[in-house]
């Protein structure tokens, strides 16, 4: 709404107008004005969803995250198969900890090591030691994972 404050306020004020005639709803206020406001509001919402989808680009985001994890594995900052865990969390939204070992074909000990490394990199979070794993979007990764979402620092 901040991008079009004048139209927002105009539509909102019109909702308080009394009805024009017998065809303008059944109550005291204008139903036509409410319908126009609702249309304006929903069109604004759709515009913002499209804007954010273009900015974040979900498939490109996934590719950037998986490229980052591959680089971290090559640099020995993350253990092998960390990418499999991160990709599973990306697809599912969350991953039960107990599924990690079987999913990557490793022992429970190695699975815990992979999870600990991803959590240590602040890319996975969990509400507790037995709670499911979820992706985190650490501020340190913002420019890498979501370029263009935040403006670059200007000046010093």
Q: pLDDT truncated to tens, each residue of the chain (156 aa)?
A: 777 888 888 887 887 767 676 666 666 677 888 888 899 999 999 998 888 887 777 788 889 999 999 999 999 999 999 999 999 999 999 999 999 999 999 998 999 999 999 999 999 999 998 899 999 988 888 888 888 776 666 554
- Residue range(s) defining the domain that contains residue 13: 2-55
pLDDT of residue 16: 74
Helix axes 108-120, 82-92, angle to 10 degrees: 70
Looking at 38, 55, 72, which one is the last position of a domain? 55
* Together in a domain, 95 and 18: no
Domain boundary among 36, 55, 74: 55
Domain boundary at 30, 55, 80, which? 55
CATH of the domain at 70: 1.10.10.10
Please give the tally of structural domains in the chain. 2
16 and 38 belong to one structural domain: yes
CA distance 153 to 130: 39
Contact between 121 and 72 under an 8 Å Cβ cutoff? The reply is yes
Please indicate, yes or no, whether residues 134 and 68 belong to a single structural domain of this protein: yes
pLDDT for 102: 92
- Using CA atoms, how far apart are residues 30 and 44, in angstroms rounded to an integer? 21
Q: Are residues 72 and 141 in the same domain?
A: yes
pTM over 0.75: no
Query: Closest by alpha carbon to 16, among 37, 45, 1, 44?
Result: 37
């Amino acid at each position: 709404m901040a991008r079009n404050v004048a139209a927002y306020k105009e539509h909102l004020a019109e909702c308080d107008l009394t009805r024009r005639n017998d065809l303008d709803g059944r109550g005291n206020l204008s139903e036509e004005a409410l319908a126009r406001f609702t249309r304006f509001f929903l069109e604004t919402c759709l515009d913002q969803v499209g804007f954010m989808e273009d900015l974040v680009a979900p498939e490109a985001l996934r590719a950037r995250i998986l490229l980052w994890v591959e680089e971290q594995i090559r640099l020995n900052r993350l253990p092998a198969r960390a990418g499999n865990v991160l990709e599973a969390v990306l697809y599912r939204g969350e991953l039960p900890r107990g599924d990690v070992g079987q999913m990557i074909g490793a022992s429970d000990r190695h699975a815990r090591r992979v999870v600990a490394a991803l959590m240590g990199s602040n890319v996975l979070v969990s509400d507790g030691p037995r709670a499911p794993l979820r992706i985190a979007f650490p501020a340190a990764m913002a420019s890498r994972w979501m370029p263009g979402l935040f403006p670059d620092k200007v000046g010093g």
